[in-house]
Amino acid sequence: MHVTPQQQAEIDALRAERAETRRATVPALEDVLYQPFPVLDHGFVRVVDYMGDDAAIVQAARVSYGRGTKRSRDDQGLINYLMRNAHTSPFEMCEIKLHVKLPIFVARQWIRHRTASVNEYSARYSILDREFYVPSESQLAIQSSANAQGRGEAGVGEQLSLAPGAAAPRGARRRAAEQARRAEAKGMQESLTEDAERSFDQYDSLHAAGLARELARIGLPLSAYTQWYWKTDLHNLLHFLALRIDEHAQWEIREYARVILDLVDHWVPLTAKAFRSHRLGGARLSEEGLEAVKRLLNGEDVDPAALGMSPREWRELRATLGLPED
């Protein structure tokens, strides 16, 4: 369960309230205000407050007294210009406050973004719920051979069929291999679950014996769930999303970034469109990379080493341009 019945009752009460205001509001975001959006097995993200909209960004950029007579087409053009040329201060005029429930190991990655105000659930003051994250079978992958801090594409057990020169299993062999893979994945899930259950059993027994909460908590696993309120401005939120929705980020935090980006679509649709186009769908080139592109367009051979490009930058540039590997 992502929220308890008591929490749901509180959310329903908040969503039933109405307040008159003169400040700008966004109907699409108002429709989902306070509503929890599930992430992973027990987590969620919900908007609890916000300030500003696309018009506030445009207004700040123009430093005008009102919304003016500009059309939305003109606003989109200006926001595109701001995004494209990294004029960030107008985006700082908008802020959002999120309530997030997430595994502790995801929180430790998230907190590295030191551009927000954060208040986290205190296990010194309150008792943690017995909730912990267990990866689904599809996310149980082997260690990547190319990325020292991430998982590979192959699932648990699949690496046995990836040996060089090995023929792909067929028929009964294939079914047997699939059953073995699923059994190995299930065994790992059970092992993770048992370890977490033992940790929470110890936590409960130490708490029942009277040990201070701040000490009883220290044996809990990184898979345990925590919660926090996280408030940031739109510029820093977009920077967070650009890094954490990237395919190189850990899958679990990418799932949170995906849900938050959908909320940004509700909140500031013109900015979200510019962000997807210029930050997520665009590319940044170094001076050497730009020179390589110019030479490729002129039909010249390119020696990346002579240009001072590393092998990795050259591979990434070729992938960005949709060119085949060397």
Among left, alpha and beta (phi > 0; psi -120 to 50; other), residue 119 is beta
Tokens 């990418």: give the residue: 254
- CA-to-CA distance for 79 and 65, rounded, in angstroms? 18
- Please, how many CA atoms are within 13 Å of residue 101, restricted to the half-sphere of its CB? 23
Count of alpha carbons within 13 angstroms of residue 147, beta-carbon side: 13
Residue 29 C-alpha from the chain's centroid: 19
Task: Examine the residue annotation and report whether 217 is marked as an active-site residue of this protein.
Answer: no
Please check whether residue 248 is in contact with residue 151, taking contact to mean a CB–CB distance below 8 angstroms. Answer: no
Catalytic residue among 151, 175, 244, 258: 244
Q: Three-class SS of residue 238?
A: helix
Q: Are residues 240 and 113 in contact, defined by beta-carbon separation less than 8 angstroms?
A: yes
Half-sphere exposure of 187 toward its Cβ, with a 13 Å CA cutoff? 8
- DSSP assignment of 50-85 equals EE--HHHHHHHHHT-SS--S--HHHHHHHHHHHHHT
Question: Which active-site residues does the annotation give?
Answer: 244
